[in-house]
Amino acid sequence: MKLSVPHIDKNDIKSVNNVLKSEWISTSSKTVNTFESKLSFFCKTKYSVALNSGTSAIHLGLKVLGVDKNSEVIVPSLTFIATVNPILYLGAKPIIFDVDCYHNLKVNDVINFIKKKTEFKNNNTINKKTKKIIKVIIITHMWGRACNFSKLKEICKKRKIFIIEDAAEALGSYVTRDKNNHCGAIGDIGCLSFNANKIITTGSGGAIITNNKKFYLRAQYLANQAKDDTFNYIHNECGYNYKMNSICAALGISQLKRLKKKIAQRKKIYNRYLLNFKKSKNIELLSFDKKSKTNYWMNILFFKKLNFQKTYDLSLSLAKKKIETRRLWRPLNLQLHLKKFEKFNVKNAIKFYQNSLCVPSDDNISESDVDKISKYIKKFYEIIINK
């Protein structure tokens, strides 16, 4: 029983086959344009740029917003490495903050930091300690759980700090304050991923979504080799080969049609885990903000009394029963190449990393599978804790 794997059906194959037969397989085609329009329609944004990965979406987003070697970018500690590495590609520096009870950026800590540890000069927010410009904050919507960052958005507007939403895991998730706002469509730029383990897949792939025309045009330009004159091959600056190809886009169009069904299926899985662990004192299922709608991409269990080693032992015992589990993303401040960067009180991220596991959440899992998984988790937990 798997965490999350791709599901390819006959319609996906038909859609891809049609593109293969048409010979329009490169990055510029009607199929790519159609996928972009369908994404914009689904996320209710004005624009989308389909790309070859979520990592390129984050890199391009940072580049479009002007991040360079004089910039600093705020990130949450508990996230996949691809949230932070693109900051380093641009020679900028990350500042690492803790996460809240939903594993999302601790918004209040960032607001306090901006108020107390930065100053506003010449239209820029300057970190008093390093004298660098805080250019961007990356909000992640971890495991599909939407981060509600409205208070932070207000202060960022005044302080000229851009917001990128890393919504790689959150296609189909919403912040629901006054209305449904799709994750990625709330800040300046949103980044999606369609990697094989995501709720829908294009094999590998990603996208930028935005309501800002200037950012959209710049992202399209840079993603497509910064072509100024196609016939004469004139490129006035350094671009990238980041666009999605038509084969992936055809798969994306077909997969997108099943997204709502997939979310409904994953909701059933979440509710069953919830029921099974509701009465457990020592095992907690990761919840989500009540002012949000989640896509239920991944379920996480927190084992209050286990330590790092015992959590691993539990994972090994479950593997013997063909139940796949994995740790959470390793906190960024613990990664060797990131240890030197500024960080603030990352206690929660470390606590959750120590003794939580991602548990099977794939579309194919039935409620009786969840019962079986839950039974083994409880059984092995008791054995391990009493060792």
Is 374 among the residues that bind ligand PLP (CB under 6 A)?
no
- CA gap 219, 41 in Å, rounded: 19
Work out how close the CB of 225 gets to ligand PLP at its nearest, in angstroms, rounded to a whole number. Answer: 20
Range in contact with ligand PLP (rule: CB under 6 A) among 17-25, 102-110, 164-172, 356-364? 164-172
Give the pair of three-digit tokens for residue 6.
């791709």
Q: Which is nearer to ligand PLP, 219 or 314 (CB)?
A: 219
Site for ligand PLP in 14-53 (CB under 6 A): 53
Nearer Cβ to ligand PLP (205/360)? 205
Residue nearest to ligand PLP (CB): 54
Question: Which residue stretch of 76-84, 92-100, 127-135, 207-215 sits at the interface with ligand PLP (rule: CB under 6 A)?
Answer: 76-84
Q: Does 83 bind ligand PLP (CB under 6 A)?
A: yes
Contact between 80 and ligand PLP by CB under 6 A: the answer reads: yes
Distance, in Å, from the CA atom of 42 to the CA atom of 26, rounded to the nearest integer, reads: 24
CA gap 300, 326 in Å, rounded: 9
Binding flag, residue 202, ligand PLP (CB under 6 A): no
195: contact with ligand PLP by CB under 6 A: yes
- Strand-pair partners of 174: 182, 293
- Please tell me whether residue 104 binds ligand PLP under the rule CB under 6 A: no
Tell me the window of 165-173, 281-289, 363-371, 374-382 that interacts with ligand PLP (CB under 6 A).
165-173
- Rule CB under 6 A: say whether 79 interacts with ligand PLP: yes
Q: Is 292 in the site for ligand PLP (CB under 6 A)?
A: no
Listed in sequence order, the residues at least 6 apart from 245 whose beta carbon sits closer than 8 Å to its beta carbon are: 25, 26, 27, 32, 52
Instruction: Between 193 and 255, name the residue whose CB sits nearer to ligand PLP.
Output: 193
Nearer to ligand PLP, 195 or 292 (CB): 195
Residue 165 binds ligand PLP, judged by CB under 6 A: no
- Interface with ligand PLP, residue 140, by CB under 6 A: yes
Q: Which is nearer to ligand PLP, 55 or 71 (CB)?
A: 55
* Residue in the block written with tokens 């790309």: 51
Residue 214: CA atoms inside 13 Å, Cβ hemisphere, count? 5
The residue count for binding ligand PLP (CB under 6 A) is 15
Q: State the DSSP code for 297.
A: -
Q: What is the DSSP string of 368-386?
A: HHHHHHHHHHHHHHHHHHT
Q: Helical H runs in 172-258?
A: 213-223, 246-256
4 binds ligand PLP (CB under 6 A): no
CB atoms within 10 A of CB 6: 18
Distance CA 176, CA 347 (A): 28
Closest approach, Cβ 206 to ligand PLP, in A, equals 5
Helices 246-256 & 10-22 angle (0-180, nearest 10): 150
Question: How many other CB atoms sit within 10 Å of the CB of residue 156?
Answer: 23
Residue 116: HSE in the Cβ half-sphere, 13 Å Cα cutoff: 6
In the complex, the residues that contact ligand PLP under the rule CB under 6 A are 53-55, 79-80, 82-83, 140, 166, 168-169, 193, 195, 204, 206
